């Protein structure tokens, strides 16, 4: 691809180096070491806290020594998702870039531009002798994607600045000034096995080919959830023939809408043809339901020649699991009454699997109204208890309440208007950002979030618009220059 914007090329070159380093959530040791080593080689002060967050200090440009410190913030980790046929090993393989017209994506995996592009942009800025700026603190946090762990563990004294530019939004020309809070619930149910009845065989029912996506950004797109598609198909099979669940698995991350799921079931051998017919009919129904959002949706069943040592669950547990998975809410629970088009409250039925004779389910709730976040969480816990399961919910993270009178917002809007000749959009989003947590820890923090245009984060078709990178760079440089 012919990239005209000089800084965009530098940023993408550095982003490619970053993308060669394993950095799945909770595994940021190598990227943290890379950042510290990079700072040392370039004569910049740096430090790392106990949780793994990294801070790099960049001296002010001449004439900006007395300006207020600006924190530029992003997170080190990425959601590690890949297509079912990808051999990629996130623990060692570099992300492979693929250019598609004006877009950059990866080879059958998540790209990790969420949020590796923020690291690259901040690092290029730190070494740019032509960019005039106040003293900078580059704050790179860990484990944002699985619960904002790095931000939650951050000591307010770790940073000095009280102006924060978060580079983790996903639409160029849009300034984010508020976000939803979130909370996860883990449900556990002991299961019991028995011998398969005479004449029963094992089959695998699979649901896949769905687009998935970010459980905050895409939850209102009405995309198919593979777990729910699978369970609905199983419920129909169960209505027409005897079926015993043996195993079930779907979903990989709390903040990603599940794209694939499967279940191993024991069925009467002579009913397999009927089950094939039922599943085929179900696939046709689902493809009609989700023809706009998930045109590649597939549901199928195949006999397993080997049972792999598996036994069926007893009839009661098989039914209880399907009932529980069907009863749990998924999708938009409420729209905002104050901001048109904003999802206020939602839930993602994120993952399910059976491990060590226990069914494990993870749900992820979001809301910009904390009382409704708690109410939805309590509802999920109540459904779990009614099924005889245990439910444990985390403390979660707070919503970021917008301040439309923010001096930083006014400055950003003015700079953007002068630079591009048009007004930026200002929005509150349903996804979670670290700003709310950092603002709680640093009294008086003025914050805004922006970033290049990114599509389908948390899914293997994640992609970034290359042209938007240069526009965000130009805005950020102009913004910092204005803060003398």
Catalytically annotated residues: 77, 144
Count CB neighbours of 135 within 10 A. 18
Give the DSSP H or E segment for 250.
Answer: strand 244-250
- 101 Cβ neighbours under 8 A, 6+ residues apart: none
Query: What phi and psi values does residue 439 have, to the nearest 5 degrees?
Result: -60, -35
CA dist 182 and 180 (Å) reads 7
Query: Edge to edge, what strands does the sheet with 454-455 contain?
Result: 97-100, 103-106, 463-465, 454-455
Residue 175 contacts residue 449 (beta carbons within 8 Å): yes
Beta bridge partners of 164: 71, 447
E strand intervals along 386-453? 390-393, 425-429, 446-449
Query: What phi and psi values does residue 480 have, to the nearest 5 degrees?
Result: -65, -35
Angle between helices 315-327 and 370-386 (to 10 degrees): 160
CA dist 461 and 396 (Å) reads 28
CA dist 13 and 112 (Å) reads 14
How distant, in Å, are the alpha carbons of 20, 81, 111, 221 from that of 44? Answer: 23, 34, 28, 44
CA dist 137 and 368 (Å) reads 29
Based on its alpha-carbon atoms, the radius of gyration of the chain, rounded to whole angstroms, reads: 24
3-class secondary-structure state, position 158: helix
């Amino acid at each position: 691809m012919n990239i005209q914007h000089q800084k965009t090329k530098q940023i993408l070159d550095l982003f490619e180096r970053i993308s060669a380093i394993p950095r799945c959530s909770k595994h940021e040791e190598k990227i943290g070491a890379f950042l510290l080593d990079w700072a040392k080689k370039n004569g910049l002060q740096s430090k790392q806290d106990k949780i793994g967050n990294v801070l790099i200090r960049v001296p002010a440009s001449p004439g900006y020594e007395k300006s207020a410190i600006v924190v530029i913030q992003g997170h080190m980790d990425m959601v590690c998702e890949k297509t079912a046929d990808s051999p990629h090993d996130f623990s060692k393989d570099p992300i492979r870039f693929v250019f598609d017209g004006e877009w950059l994506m990866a080879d059958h995996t998540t790209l990790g531009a969420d949020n590796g592009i923020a690291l690259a942009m901040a690092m290029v800025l730190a070494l740019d002798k032509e960019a005039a700026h106040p003293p900078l603190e580059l704050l790179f946090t860990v484990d944002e994607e699985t619960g904002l762990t790095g931000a939650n563990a951050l000591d307010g004294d770790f940073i000095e600045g009280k102006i924060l530019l978060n580079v983790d939004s996903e639409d160029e020309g849009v300034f984010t000034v508020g976000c939803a809070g979130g909370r996860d619930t883990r449900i556990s149910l002991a299961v019991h096995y028995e011998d398969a009845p005479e004449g029963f065989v094992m089959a695998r029912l699979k649901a896949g080919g769905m687009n998935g996506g970010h459980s905050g950004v895409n939850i209102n797109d009405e995309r198919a959830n593979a777990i729910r598609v699978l369970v609905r198909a199983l419920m129909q099979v169960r209505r027409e023939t005897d079926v015993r669940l043996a195993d079930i698995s779907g979903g990989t991350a709390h903040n990603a809408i599940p794209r694939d799921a499967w279940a191993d079931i024991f069925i009467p051998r002579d009913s397999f043809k009927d089950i094939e017919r039922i599943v085929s009919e179900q696939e046709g129904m689902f493809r009609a339901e989700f023809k706009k959002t998930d045109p590649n949706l597939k549901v199928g069943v195949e006999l397993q020649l080997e049972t792999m040592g598996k036994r069926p669950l007893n009839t009661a547990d098989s039914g209880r699991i399907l009932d529980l998975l069907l009863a749990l809410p998924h999708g938009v629970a409420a729209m905002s009454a104050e901001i048109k088009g904003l999802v206020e409250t939602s839930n993602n039925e994120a993952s399910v699997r059976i491990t060590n004779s226990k069914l494990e389910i993870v749900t992820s709730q979001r809301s910009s109204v904390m009382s409704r976040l708690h109410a939805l969480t309590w509802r999920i816990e109540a459904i779990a208890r009614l099924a005889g399961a245990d439910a444990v919910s985390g403390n979660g993270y707070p919503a970021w309440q917008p301040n439309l009178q923010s001096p930083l917002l006014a400055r950003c809007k003015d700079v953007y208007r002068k630079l591009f000749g048009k007004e930026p959009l200002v929005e509150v989003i349903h996804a979670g950002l670290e700003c709310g947590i950092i603002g709680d820890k640093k009294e008086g923090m003025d914050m805004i979030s922006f970033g290049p245009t990114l599509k389908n984060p948390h899914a293997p078709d994640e992609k970034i618009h290359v042209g938007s990178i240069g526009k965000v760079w130009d805005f950020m440089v102009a913004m910092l220059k204005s803060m003398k």
